[in-house]
Each structure stands twice: as structure tokens, then as C-alpha cells.
Structure 1
Amino acid sequence: MKAARYSAVVLSAILAFTAAGCASAPSTKNIPAVASIDFGLFEGPWYEIARIPIPIAGDWVGTTDTYIRRADGDWNVLYEGWKGGFDGKKGSLGQRLRAVDPVIQGEMEAKPFPFVWMPYRIVYWNAEDETMLITSGTMNYLWVMARAPLLDSAVYDRLTAEADRLGFDIALLETVPQRPAGGL
């Protein structure tokens, strides 16, 4: 019973924050999602390099998204990190991801809770340096992701320049502390 009540409170908070964000922030609808993604490269762990802060898991460090392909073609996404610092408690959140448009592979939806599907849009993909930019339905959400936990400053600058070009307020981005590869 306690777990169900906690889940209901968390779900209510997410829906309230999402509704508030949707009401106050411009839509990302005019930003094209990536048409083609190498799903072999997409699968597996990605490090969260920077993000526009959100209330849920906002103080987590060393965060990763691990994408696991399901038999039905959807994805399970496991978000993990340490609460408050690397010496904090490890936390995790799970969600389901599905394609919305088979022609535009970066146009997806995430399901963090039952009956709740939210836009999940890959708006930049670079297979060479294994980086991507992910957003949701509004400009309040942006995640800079990479296969490596630490990026060369030139690569990071290129990613933030791309985010700026797409219309995101890059002054809102906060970098996420990460350990070097193998330091987990």
C-alpha cells in the first residue's frame, strides 16, 4: 500500500511538472527529429553529459541511460545515477520507449508510468563521435548524451552550439559530474 501511495505521489508530481512545463515553454514541434538512427549503436549505455535541470533526479551524478531492445521492438530505458554525489545512494528509474514514426526514427515516446506517454525526441545524432541530443515536447527539456563519460571540450562546444542553433537556452544547461570510463 505504501509503495502504491508513493507511486501515485511521484506520478502526480511528474504530471504537474510536465503540465506546467508544457504551458510555459515553447514546443519543440518545429525542430525536426533525426530521420535515421543506427539502433545497433543506440542500444546500451549512454552517459548524461549535461541537462536542463528538472526536479526529478536533479541532484544525481554519474547518470546514464541504458537502452535495451525488447522483443516487441520497443525499448526499456534504465536511468541510473548517484543521489547527491558519488558517495550517495545509487538510484534508478525505468521507462519504456517506442517509435512513433517508422520513417523518422528519432520521433519516439517515453512511458515513465502506466498510461502516460510523453514525447521523446532525438534531435541530433552523430554516430562518429557517438553523441546525441534528446528533448521532449517543450524547450524545457534537453539532455546531452554520449557513449563516453567525459567529452573533449571541442565536442561539447559543438553539441551546445547545435542545441543553441535549435533554439534551446544553453545558459540553462548544467553539466553532470561523471567518472572516467571504468570508474563506476
Structure 2
Amino acid sequence: MQIITAPSIRWLLVAIVVLTAAGCALLFSGRGDRPPLETAAPVELERYLGEWYVIANIPYFAERGNVASRAVYRRRDDGRLDDLYFYRDDFGAEEESMEGVARVVEGSGNARWKVRFFWPFTFDYVILAVDTDYRHVAVGHPSREYAWIMAREPRIDDAVYQRLLDVFARNGYSPEALQKVPQFPAQVGRPGFQSPDD
């Protein structure tokens, strides 16, 4: 018998809230009038897999206020991908994690995924841009309500960061909606960074 822990209940509620909000956003945001997101296809999946630090995102319930967050993508025996999310509530807290599973959408050049953290809910993961060295990436969602800038290292050059913000702007996002995620204690409270208390 599987024991449901308090963190599991928390993330189940998170998934329901986020996916309900995403569904409403898609239903009521006039998505049919918007052009589809431009993708980075083709994406070389083997080069893309591995660890990515979350440099910035549009804060939402599941990730708002997290610090030192990162994602790890790896192949599974069944052909799908593990989507592992690691984070801390603050720099003095122990690392926590969520485990999801992703599948690449056929015909998308590996740039569109369907990700599930809690059955039966899935959400779209769209790779908008990845540099030739696979060091920096911009990931979006068709609703334009969710966005991530990630990098292989926990720091990112300001010029690279701005280029990735420009990718979001070209895709109909408000770049100012993205906020940086502290990866180091000294970043907490600095302008543009999310606070663990949020």
C-alpha cells in the first residue's frame, strides 16, 4: 500500500491548480488567434538531456519562491524521459524533488514534449531556443503563462540572458514577467530575483 505523504499531497494540489489554470488560460486566452510558438527544432535529444539549472521563470504556484532549482532529463527504458525537478524552499533547507515523465511529440523535431507529474494531467513543454553548444535554453508553453530560462551552469551571462528574453518577446510573451531564480544565497533580495518568502 502506497503511503501518501504531506509533500505528495502538496504537489498533487499544485498539479491540479496549475493544470486547471493552464486549461482555463488556453480556453479563454484566445489561443486560436495566436500564432503557434516558434520552436528550436530540430533538437538533438542526446545533447539536450542531462542537468539544467533554472535561471529564471514566470513565477507560479509550484515553483514560486524556490531556490537552487534544477531539472534533470534522462532516458527511460520504455522510450520516454524522466523529468526530475530539484529545489529548496530556502538555502538552509534540504533539497526536495518531484519526479515526472515526458514523451517527445512525434514530428516535432524533439522540440515539443508532453510532461506528466501527476496522472492524468499533462502539460506542453516547448523548446523555443537552444544554443549550438546546448548550454542555454528557453522553454515555453502555448498559453504564454509559463516560461523557463535554463543553463548548464548556475550562472548566466547578461547578454545571453537578454537574447533569451528576446526569444520570448518574439513569441508573444511579456519578458518582464520572467524573474530570476536565486542559485546562490548572495542573489536573494537582489533586484530581478524571486524571494524564497514569496
Change (3 A) 1:5 1:62: closer
- What fraction of aligned residue pairs are identical, expressed as a percent? 25
Query: In 2, Cα distance between the equivalents of 1:111 and 1:77?
Result: 9
Q: RMSD of the alignment, in Å? A: 2.4
SS of 2:41's equivalent? Answer: coil
Change (3 A) 1:2 1:87: same
- 1:55 matched to which residue of 2? 61
1:171 maps to which of 173, 176, 179: 176
SS of 1:36's equivalent? Answer: coil
Change (3 A) 1:87 1:30: same
Work out whether 1:78 is the aligned partner of 2:84. Answer: yes
How far the C-alpha of 1:2 sits from its partner, in A, is 6.0
More strand by share: 1
- 2:20 matched to which residue of 1? 19
How far the C-alpha of 1:89 sits from its partner, in A, is 2.6
SS of 1:86's equivalent? Answer: coil
Change (3 A) 1:176 1:33: same
Query: In 1, Cα distance between the equivalents of 2:47 and 2:184?
Result: 22
Contact 2:112 2:127 survives alignment (8 Å): yes
Q: TM-score, normalised by structure 1?
A: 0.85
Structure 2 gap ranges (5+): 186-198
Structure 1 gap ranges (5+): none
Contact 1:60 1:81 survives alignment (8 Å): yes
Change (3 A) 1:86 1:32: same
